[in-house]
Amino acid sequence: MGYRVVDTDEVAPETDRPCECRRLSDPAGLSRMAINLFRADPGEQLPLAYHYHDEQEEAFYVVSGTLSVETPEETYVVDEGSLFVVDPGSPQRAYNPEDADAAVEVVAVGAPPADDDVHAYEP
């Protein structure tokens, strides 16, 4: 058996992201999923680019605030306490709109983890 508690405040944010991103997979000892904690101020986006994955499924749980997710068909508004799911091959860009009243906090889970599985998408 194995159990761990990760204090997310002790995980240093990534320095090359458009918003605050704390990668939690390694500190948690996870190898079969990627898990990140995002905090985006108004006008900031979560991913580096509008993108899609060949194999990875993604799920975004909105802890606080409201998340907008742009897709080729529409822009979804995901309220606090809701889960937004993205199937492989489905382009998306998650962000906090410029006119938002507050930051948005999101827990993002992707499985299987695959750094070489992401592709930029041009709408």
How many angstroms separate the CA atoms of 110 and 68, rounded? 18
What is the rounded CA–CA span in Å between residue 19 and residue 40?
5
- 33-88 per-position pLDDT tens digit: 999 999 999 999 999 899 999 999 999 999 999 999 999 999 999 999 999 999 99
Q: Model pTM?
A: 0.94
Domains and CATH numbers, the chain: 33-115 (2.60.120.10)
